[in-house]
């Protein structure tokens, strides 16, 4: 855990615990929200899986990014998650989305 705390610039175990909780809540929530969105688009798991699952994953990705920053803010770790988000977008070649 010391390496992870050093890499992320975290001081306490409590802060690390909060960050893990935010990651867990965000992943679960984004996956849960993707189901009604795909249903609203007229898609369901019984249809062609080669279409349904890629669309669902493409929906989850931006939803996850938004929720990650939101839950980070809600749990008092906005700065950490905003920096994490910027780093991830840049590594995916989507840094142009950031207005800096």
Q: If phi over 0 gives left and psi between -120 and 50 gives alpha, with beta otherwise, what is residue 42?
A: left
- pLDDT for the residue numbered 2: 85
- Domain residue limits at 58: 2-97
Task: Record the pTM.
Answer: 0.83
Cα 20 from Cα 1, distance rounded (Å):
12
**Domains: count for the chain:** 1
The per-residue pLDDT string of the chain (100 residues; one tens digit each, 9 = 90 and over) reads 888 888 999 989 999 999 999 999 999 999 899 889 888 988 888 888 788 889 889 889 889 999 999 999 999 999 999 999 999 888 888 778 777 6
């Amino acid at each position: 855990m010391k390496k992870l705390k050093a890499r992320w610039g975290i001081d306490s175990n409590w802060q690390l615990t909060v960050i893990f909780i935010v990651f867990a809540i965000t992943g679960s929530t984004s996956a849960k929200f993707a189901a009604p969105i795909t249903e609203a688009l007229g898609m369901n798991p019984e249809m062609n899986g080669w279409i349904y699952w890629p669309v669902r994953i493409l929906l989850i990705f931006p939803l996850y990014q938004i929720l990650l920053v939101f839950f980070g803010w809600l749990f008092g770790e906005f700065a950490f998650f905003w920096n994490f988000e910027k780093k991830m977008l840049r590594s995916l070649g989507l840094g142009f989305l950031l207005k800096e």
